[in-house]
């Protein structure tokens, strides 16, 4: 922690020193840059750049006959000030300003009146930094698939050279640069929280740690209660929730005021608001501010990977937060809890289009689930398949007659499972009364479930990869774009017949893994890194 704070302090000092040099120059730039000098430096690769960066610069300057943008002989260049301010803003977006040569630009600026070569290098490097940052803000600093191999949502294309050319020509450079990062309320609130946390980290030398203890319930007395009060006081400084504003006390009683604060803290961290300070709540209390800052940064990066337009009506499934949100005209109209894949069958991040629903579905059991999950149950209880409504078929003969489970010696089977299982519709069916289908290479869909009690759990990783829904019929209403379920739909449900219902219009759906999230009430939530994807992504980013 001390090493991180020292590093942060040094970076912050260097950052503000650069800002001072950039916006308070000791002299004015009044040097004319010749277009031939720009062309010469680019043609001779006098400035070392990567291949993609050099190509963008060539296209950009060739389109304007190598005329300078930032240094054109004026005593004060408003364009240059806009560009440098934009580059300095990288820190506020959770990025590193040194990746965009902020310090080097400050040094070049100080000596740019000494030679045309130095001034030209400032011109070219400023353009390169603007193009690079523009690209990173519009579609992410890192490759999504390299940073998170479980992320399969394509990133949008972005031509930074064409964008910058258009913005300059139209005379709205500053406004265009400001709109590059996601303008959603969610992203902007994470950005604001990041700035606040970074300041707080410098002023908070140590984040209180709560020792392990038995589960604490309202009314209990325990020695760690005063420490928990202090930790909640820190949370009030960080997040400002009114429930966190406790009256200072050294009492060891877990009283009603602290219970209300803990419930608010549990809600903020995606936990059941039962007021019980158990293992998950203690773990959340012990997350240091340093980690939350890293969490904010990597999730802002994930939001930059997403398309800017998700659709007028769409579904957003956050597997990390165990929530599904139906959105219409940028407003959430339906929220529900979900159950996602176990850690070894983790639900990937991808997008698709919801096309139809199946009422009273059969469950065609994947072979791996049949062998790993269901076979042990049948081996333990010879009546399991029959009682749960499973039919057994030869694996290679789907049109064959069902086999009597009692005729098979299930204990002889282990790695080899030469059968196909299908569960009939009914009260025991694992898919419940309805499933929602959309094409994807992972054979994942959304569905109802008879196991309603699991929605009360904190960490809801119980499925085999598909998404179980808390409110499937409310989702059906949204998918049909109706105020309520049509009478025929309800009658079809009650018929127990397997019926396919197509949506009047395909509905975009995005399955994402976002562990830091802000809602329409301007509250920021932090969710457990259930699949360790934050950790993996942060290691890749070296953040």
Kindly list the domain boundaries of the chain, sorted by start residue.
Answer: 10-181, 220-287, 310-528
Please, how many CA atoms are within 13 Å of residue 145, restricted to the half-sphere of its CB?
5
Task: Give the global pTM.
Answer: 0.90
Strands 467-469 and 524-526, bridge-based pairing: unpaired
Q: How many Cα atoms are found within 13 Å in the side-chain-facing hemisphere of 503?
A: 21
Q: Which residues of 305-342 are buried (b: 16+ CB within 10 A; e: fewer)?
A: bbeeebbebbbbbbbbbbbbbbbeeeeeeeebbbbbbe
> 220-287 with 310-528: one CATH topology?
no
Angle at 437 between CA 435 and CA 443, to 5 degrees: 105
pLDDT score at 496: 87
189, 522 contact by CB (below 8 A)? yes
State which residues of the chain have pLDDT below 50.
Answer: 1-13, 16-17, 20, 25-30, 75
pLDDT at 282: 97
Pairing of strands 446-447, 434-438: antiparallel
* HEC profile of 500-533: EEEEEEEEEEEEECCCEEECCCCCEEECCCCCCH
Q: Beta 434-438 vs 419-423: how paired, if at all? A: unpaired
Is beta strand 313-318 parallel, antiparallel or unpaired with respect to 363-364?
Answer: unpaired
Q: And the tokens for 332? A: 């959430």
| Strand partners for 510 | 316, 351
Distance, C-alpha 492 to centroid of its chain: 37
What's residue 224's pLDDT?
97
DSSP lists the bridge partners of residue 391 as 422
Question: Contact, 256 vs 218, CB < 8 A?
Answer: yes
**Separation between Cα atoms, residue 123 and residue 66, nearest integer Å:** 11
- The two beta strands, 446-447 and 467-469, are parallel
Pick the CATH number of 220-287 from 1.10.3210, 1.10.101, 3.40.91, 1.10.10: 1.10.101
**Is residue 483 packed enough to be buried (19+ CB in 10 Å), middle (13-18) or exposed (0-12)?**
exposed
Cα–Cα distance, 390 to 364 (Å, whole number): 10
**CATH number of the domain located at residue range(s) 310-528 in this protein:** 2.40.440.10
Which residue in 511, 498, 512, 522 sits closest to 432, CA to CA? 498
The span from the CA of 456 to the CA of 271, in Å, is 9
Number of Cβ within a 10 Å radius of residue 439: 10
pLDDT score for 347: 94
Contact 135, 304 (CB under 8 A): no
Work out the number of other CB atoms within 10 angstroms of the CB of residue 522.
Answer: 11
Q: Is the dihedral of CA 275, 278, 280, 285 positive or negative?
A: positive
Question: What are the tokens at 58?
Answer: 């060539």
Q: Is 331 helix (H, G, I), strand (E, B) or coil?
A: strand
Residue 259 CA to residue 71 CA, distance in Å, equals 61
Task: For residue 488, give both structure tokens.
Answer: 């025929």
Q: Spell out the residues 6+ positions from residue 169 whose beta carbon is closer than 8 angstroms to its own.
A: none
| Residue owning tokens 């040097």 | 31
Placement of tokens 């930059």 in the chain:
304
* Alpha-carbon distance values, 480 to 439, 445, 473, 485, 486 (Å): 18, 17, 10, 8, 9
In b/e form, how buried is each residue of 114-136, taking b as 16+ CB within 10 angstroms? eeeebbbbbbbbbbbbbbbbbbb
**Cα(328)–Cα(479) distance, integer angstroms:** 11
Task: Give the bridge partners for 221, in sequence order.
Answer: 253
Residue ranges of alpha helices (H) inside 217-323 are 225-239, 256-268, 279-285, 289-305
DSSP 8-state code for residue 320: T
List strands edge to edge, sheet with 390-394.
363-364, 419-423, 390-394
CB distance 448 to 339 below 8 Å: no
Give the pLDDT confidence score for residue 333 in this predicted structure. Answer: 96
**What was the pLDDT predicted at 10?**
41
Which residues touch 376 (CB under 8 Å, ≥6 apart)?
none
**How far is the C-alpha of 474 from the C-alpha of 24, rounded, in Å?**
58
> What contacts 288, CB < 8 A, 6 or more positions away?
1, 207
């Amino acid at each position: 922690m001390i090493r991180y704070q020292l590093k942060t302090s040094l970076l912050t000092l260097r950052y503000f020193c650069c800002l001072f040099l950039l916006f308070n120059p000791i002299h004015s730039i009044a040097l004319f840059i010749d277009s031939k000098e720009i062309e010469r430096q680019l043609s001779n690769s006098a400035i070392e750049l990567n291949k993609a960066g050099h190509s963008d610069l060539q296209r950009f300057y060739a389109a304007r006959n190598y005329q300078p943008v930032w240094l054109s002989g004026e005593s004060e260049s408003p364009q240059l000030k806009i560009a440098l301010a934009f580059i300095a803003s990288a820190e506020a977006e959770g990025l590193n300003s040194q990746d965009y040569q902020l310090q080097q630009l400050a040094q070049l600026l100080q000596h740019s009146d000494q030679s045309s070569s130095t001034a030209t290098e400032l011109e070219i490097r400023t353009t390169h930094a603007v193009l690079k940052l523009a690209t990173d803000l519009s579609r992410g600093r890192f490759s999504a698939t390299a940073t998170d191999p479980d992320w399969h949502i394509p990133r949008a294309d972005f031509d930074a050279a064409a964008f910058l050319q258009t913005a300059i020509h139209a005379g709205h450079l500053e406004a265009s640069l400001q709109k590059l990062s996601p303008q959603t309320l969610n992203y902007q609130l994470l950005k604001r929280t990041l700035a606040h946390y970074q300041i707080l980290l410098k002023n908070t030398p140590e984040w209180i740690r709560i020792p392990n203890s038995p589960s604490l319930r309202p009314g209990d007395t325990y020695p760690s209660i005063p420490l928990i009060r202090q930790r909640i006081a820190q949370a009030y400084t960080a997040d400002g929730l009114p429930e966190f504003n406790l009256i200072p006390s050294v009492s060891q009683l877990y009283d009603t005021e602290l219970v209300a604060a803990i419930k608010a803290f549990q809600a903020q961290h995606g936990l059941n608001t039962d007021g019980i300070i158990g293992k998950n709540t203690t773990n959340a209390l012990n997350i240091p501010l340093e980690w939350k800052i890293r969490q904010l940064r990597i999730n802002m990066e994930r939001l930059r990977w997403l398309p800017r337009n998700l659709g007028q009506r769409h579904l957003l499934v956050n597997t990390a937060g165990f929530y599904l949100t139906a959105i219409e005209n940028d407003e959430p109209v339906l929220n529900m809890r979900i159950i996602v894949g176990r850690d070894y069958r983790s639900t990937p991040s991808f997008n698709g289009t919801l096309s139809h629903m199946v009422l009273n579905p059969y469950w065609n059991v994947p072979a791996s689930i049949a062998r790993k999950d269901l076979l042990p149950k049948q081996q333990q209880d010879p009546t399991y398949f029959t009682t749960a409504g499973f039919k057994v078929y030869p694996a290679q003969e789907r049109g064959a007659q069902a086999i009597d489970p009692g005729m098979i010696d299930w204990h002889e089977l282990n790695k080899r499972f030469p059968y196909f299982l299908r569960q009939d519709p009914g009260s025991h069916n694992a898919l419940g009364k309805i499933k929602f289908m959309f094409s994807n290479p992972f054979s994942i869909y959304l569905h109802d479930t008879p196991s309603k009690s699991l929605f009360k759990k904190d960490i809801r990783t119980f499925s085999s990869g598909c998404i179980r829904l808390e409110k499937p019929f409310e989702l059906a209403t949204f998918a049909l774009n109706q105020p309520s379920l049509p009478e025929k739909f309800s009658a079809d449900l009650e018929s127990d017949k397997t019926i396919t219902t197509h949506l009047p219009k395909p509905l975009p759906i995005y399955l994402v893994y976002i562990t830091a999230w802000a809602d329409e009430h301007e509250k920021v939530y932090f969710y457990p890194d259930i699949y360790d994807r934050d950790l993996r992504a942060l290691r890749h980013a070296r953040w």
